[in-house]
Amino acid sequence: MTISMDDLVALCKRRGFIFPASEIYQGINGFWDYGPLGVELKNNIRDAWWREMVLCPPLGPDGDPLSIVGVDTSIIQNPRAWEASGHVGGFNDPMVDCRESKARYRYDHLQVLRHKSDPEAPRFAFLEGEPAPALKRIKKLARGKSEADFEQLPLSELPREEMPKVVGPDASTPGTLTEPRQFNLMFKTYVGAIQSEDSVAYLRPETAQGIFLNFKNVVDTSRVKVPFGIAQIGKAFRNEVTPRNYIFRSREFEQMEMEWFCHADEAQKWHEFWCERRATWWQRIGLRSDNLMMRPHGQDELAHYAREGQGTFDVEYRFPFTAPGFGELEGVAHRTDFDLKAHQEHSKIKLAYFDQERKESYMPHVIEPAAGLSRGVLALLCEAYTEDPSRPSKVYMNFHPAMAPIKAGIFPLVNKEGMPEIAHKLYAELRERHSVQLDVKQNIGKRYARMDEIGTPYCFTIDGDTAKDQSVTVRDRDSAGQQRIALDKVGAFLDERIRPG
């Protein structure tokens, strides 16, 4: 069943997961703020990734533990780095403007509806996945014709001579869309007091380049040997033409990227290894449904750095707004030696690696799993959202316990008769290890309902019997079932259940 994005967005707002940025000033398009629960969810995903990549990397194909180190590099780097990486010249999305509505769209995001037999009928453009306004226009502008007479195709596949007949997504007359033009997605700023062409700098559009810039530093100062990885998590900025679909496509977002440096001969082996490993990681943090899939990229979709390599695999998720299609969550690319070579050429600093075992100097190839942390948050939110009309809350979030922002609620059944004292003691014990909440107010049903909505997997209730038999009721979020366990076993009960899968 496809969930409603409006309902999910409303829950995220109501419960403090995600807010529009600058909301009291009517917001700012393409920017979002994470609230108290959203930041916990995001940090849980971030920490699970860091653990998987840096603290406890997996065993490689031959059973040896892999070696991966972390870095945290500057958002602003020398602008020459972005010339070398190809971003100043090539980091463009072709886009079209609408002369009538002044709106700007990404060319590859526009679809058109074209009449199957009448060449004179207007072509109605719409944003992929959002055909409703175009369908409305069929009724208004193509009298006597019905939806079924129209076929859908990408705008890029429409013959150029038909462009004057296209009605833009927000326009009322045909022929107002421009030809596609290039648009640089990097945010520009100035460094220092003088604002001139010489002081222009860019906010990084990806975290990866900071890793390449430090490749030599890491090799020279740590004990890594090829093959090894360097990982980084951090903000990236893209002045997206059409930010949309909530936090799926925003202008400021977070990435989790790892560059795996290996010998060119082994690139294919490592590419396969990381594709498999990354897909199972998303499953382990809770994307269990068939909404998750791996997809090889077509050669024409490849980024400027990946054209000669093994290609790219996407880990994709069926978001409500992409359904029945999928949207990219992570790309696992073979970047070849493109970046190191480019930086060597532009910086004139030798970046080749001397391999002691092979007795050979070479430019390592790179396999890059590049994931969106913000998109990961959205995928987990979509996956967790579960309607259940039989519950007071009507909906619960069934996050994997390891990802849930709050792990347990601790409730004295009533705020008297010694129950609050026991609850406070249990709370003091559990909060040392886990994010737990003590809630003494309202009736117990309302407290469970609130925990359901924020996806807390367990609630421990202290009642009249607790003082007598030293046991508490555990309520399980997913089944809503209850059982009694010993008070002194609560900590172990929780430890065991909230480990990542």
Binding site for ligand ATP (CB under 6 A): 206, 238, 240, 249-250, 253, 255, 328-331, 370-372, 374-375
Return d(Cα 279, Cα 264) in angstroms, integer.
Answer: 23
In this complex, which beta carbon is closest to ligand ATP, that of residue 329 or of residue 384? 329
In this complex, which beta carbon is closest to ligand ATP, that of residue 248 or of residue 411? 248
CB of 305 to ligand ATP, least distance (A): 10
In this complex, which beta carbon is closest to ligand ATP, that of residue 374 or of residue 471? 374
Please tell me whether the peptide bond between 500 and the residue prior to it is cis, using omega within 30 degrees of 0. no
Question: Which ranges of 109-224 does DSSP label H, i.e. alpha helix?
Answer: 132-141, 208-213, 215-221
Residue nearest ligand ATP by beta-carbon distance:
372
- Taking the alpha carbons of 174, 176, 178, 180 in that order, is the dihedral positive or negative? negative
In this complex, which beta carbon is closest to ligand ATP, that of residue 204 or of residue 447? 204
Provide the token pair at 400. 């994997």
Q: What share of the chain is helix, strand, coil (3-state, %, to 5)?
A: 35, 25, 40
CB of 333 to ligand ATP, least distance (A): 7
In this complex, which beta carbon is closest to ligand ATP, that of residue 247 or of residue 430? 247
The DSSP output letter for 99 is T
User: Contact 21/33 with Cβ under 8 angstroms?
Assistant: yes
CB of 376 to ligand ATP, least distance (A): 7
CA nearest neighbour of 286 among 340, 329, 346: 329
CB of 335 to ligand ATP, least distance (A): 11
In this complex, which beta carbon is closest to ligand ATP, that of residue 184 or of residue 466? 184
- Taking the alpha carbons of 92, 95, 101, 102 in that order, is the dihedral positive or negative? positive
CB of 112 to ligand ATP, least distance (A): 20
CB of 86 to ligand ATP, least distance (A): 12
In this complex, which beta carbon is closest to ligand ATP, that of residue 229 or of residue 412? 229
Angle of the 373-384 helix axis to the 36-50 helix axis, nearest 10 = 110
Give the β-pairing of 104-106 and 166-167. Answer: unpaired
CB of 30 to ligand ATP, least distance (A): 8
In this complex, which beta carbon is closest to ligand ATP, that of residue 277 or of residue 424? 277
In this complex, which beta carbon is closest to ligand ATP, that of residue 125 or of residue 329? 329
Residue that has been written with the tokens 């199972």 in this structure? 280
In this complex, which beta carbon is closest to ligand ATP, that of residue 329 or of residue 423? 329
In this complex, which beta carbon is closest to ligand ATP, that of residue 124 or of residue 253? 253
For residue 205, give every residue at least 6 positions away whose Cβ sits within 8 Å of its Cβ, in sequence order, or none. Answer: 82, 87, 91, 185, 186, 236, 237, 238
Return d(Cα 394, Cα 379) in angstroms, integer.
Answer: 21
Residue that has been written with the tokens 């559990």 in this structure? 430
CB of 256 to ligand ATP, least distance (A): 9
CB of 253 to ligand ATP, least distance (A): 4
In this complex, which beta carbon is closest to ligand ATP, that of residue 301 or of residue 496? 301
CB of 95 to ligand ATP, least distance (A): 12
Residue 184: other Cβ atoms inside 10 A: 18
CB of 225 to ligand ATP, least distance (A): 27
- Write out the DSSP string of 1-61: -PPPHHHHHHHHHHHTSEEETTGGGT--TT-EEE-HHHHHHHHHHHHHHHIIIIISPPB-T
DSSP reduced 3-state for 221 = helix
Return d(Cα 4, Cα 156) in angstroms, integer.
Answer: 30
Phi, psi of 491 (to 5 degrees): -60, -50
∠ CA 275-344-86, rounded to 5°: 60
CB of 145 to ligand ATP, least distance (A): 34
